Chain A
Amino acid sequence: MRLEILNNGYTLWTKVLFAIIKAASRYPVPDAAKIVFYRPEFYGSPMKKLTHQAMRGPSQWSVGDREIMAAFVSKLNECTFCVKAHGAVAARAYGDRTKVDDVLADLGTAAMEAPLHATLVMIGKLTRQQSINADDVRGVMAAGASHQQIEDALAICFAFNTTNRLANAPSSDAFESGAKYLLKRGYQ
């Protein structure tokens, strides 16, 4: 981590939690996840609630759909760790790795339901260009997505446009961090 406080500035309980996670998974807690544990009253606690609501709260979108939206937004923001993590969750939720790989390789040719495709196009434009207009929304509704589905997708888009930035900025490349860890500590 580029900020020392994000390496060592945790409460004893959080350090114990990190140790438990590492013991169970055999990997250190990813930098992208660590940031929500630092001074959680400032950012982590409200952000975790918000993200859980968007990703697991009631919605007409399935968990797989929501995870693929998260992976797709992460791809546009060039957050490699988040793409792999949420792509893996989407593949598991769908029971279909190919669907996820196809979306991440080329949305234009990936086969999927029209409402999901149109929604991915819309949140892709919002992520790349920072804004959308009424015609973009009409296009998604014409493809069959409901008002509520659009609103739910915008919530996911917000969550991951925030998360990706905070996974990228304070942390050196997650895989570089992993490589450094494995070189220094080995596999025990």
Chain B
Amino acid sequence: MAAKNKETAPDFRRLHQDLVTHILKGKGNSSELERQAAFNHSGLTGPLKTLIDKVANYSYKVTDDDIAAVKGSGIAEDQIFELVVCAAVGQASRQYTNALGALEEVVTNKKGGEHAS
């Protein structure tokens, strides 16, 4: 049985924005610049780049060695936690934003067509 039909999208978009703000601007052990780089999946180097690439593109391939290599490069566990979260939310957010754009395009064209007729 379907739950009561009520518009929820604005709520979800706000919750999504709230999550992004928390992870990028909230209190953390890594800098906002580092978190933004992990979120954007750009501007990273070395073992951290390897780890973030995997989290964004094929997270099931992350290994114990990938995490150990990042720790070995001097990045603390709490920073790794934050940057992995930023990478995951970043990749999913790019998908989400792209799809909302496609939906918006369809809805806008539909409305334009209705007005034209």
Report which of B8, B85, B106 forms a contact with A59, defined as CB distance below 8 A. Answer: B8
Q: Are A3 and B77 in contact (CB under 8 A)?
A: yes
- Tell me whether A133 is interfacial, beta carbon within 8 Å: yes
Chain A nearest Cβ from B108, distance in angstroms: 10
Q: Are A162 and B23 in contact (CB under 8 A)?
A: no
Known A57-B8, A59-B3, A60-B2: A151·B59 in contact at CB below 8 Å:
no
Contact residues in B for A53 (Cβ distance below 8 Å) = 8, 11-12, 15
Q: Are A169 and B59 in contact (CB under 8 A)?
A: yes
Interface size bracket, B side: 35 or more
The proximity string for A residues 50-92 relative to B, scoring 1 for CB distances below 8 Å and 0 otherwise, is 1001101111111100000000000001110000000000000
Contact residues in B for A47 (Cβ distance below 8 Å) = 19
Q: Are A42 and B7 in contact (CB under 8 A)?
A: no
A157, B92: Cα distance in complex, Å: 8
Residue of A nearest to B55 (CB): A169
Known A53-B15, A126-B99: A58·B89 in contact at CB below 8 Å:
no
Q: Are A152 and B9 in contact (CB under 8 A)?
A: yes
- Tell me whether B33 is interfacial, beta carbon within 8 Å: no
A interface residue numbers (CB < 8 A to B): 2-6, 38-39, 41-43, 45-47, 49-50, 53-54, 56-63, 77-79, 126-127, 130-134, 136-138, 141, 147-148, 150-152, 154-155, 157-159, 161-162, 164-166, 168-170, 172
Known A43-B23, A58-B3, A62-B1: A2·B95 in contact at CB below 8 Å:
no
Q: Are B18 and A170 in contact (CB under 8 A)?
A: no
Residue of A nearest to B98 (CB): A131
Main SS class of interface, A: helix
- Tell me whether B112 is interfacial, beta carbon within 8 Å: no
Known A2-B64, A42-B82, A58-B3: A50·B22 in contact at CB below 8 Å:
no
Contact residues in A for B56 (Cβ distance below 8 Å) = 165
- Tell me whether B93 is interfacial, beta carbon within 8 Å: yes
B interface residue numbers (CB < 8 A to A): 1-9, 11-12, 15-16, 18-19, 22-23, 26-28, 51, 54-56, 58-60, 62, 64, 67-68, 77-78, 80-82, 84-85, 87-89, 91-96, 98-100, 102-103, 105-107, 109
Q: Are A62 and B3 in contact (CB under 8 A)?
A: yes
Q: Are A126 and B19 in contact (CB under 8 A)?
A: no
Report which of A49, A62, A172 forms a contact with B15, defined as CB distance below 8 A. Answer: A49
Q: Are B22 and A172 in contact (CB under 8 A)?
A: no
Contact residues in B for A39 (Cβ distance below 8 Å) = 78, 81
Q: Are B92 and A161 in contact (CB under 8 A)?
A: yes
Report which of B22, B91, B100 forms a contact with A43, defined as CB distance below 8 A. Answer: B22
Q: Are B16 and A150 in contact (CB under 8 A)?
A: no
Q: Are A54 and B102 in contact (CB under 8 A)?
A: no
Chain B nearest Cβ from A145, distance in angstroms: 11
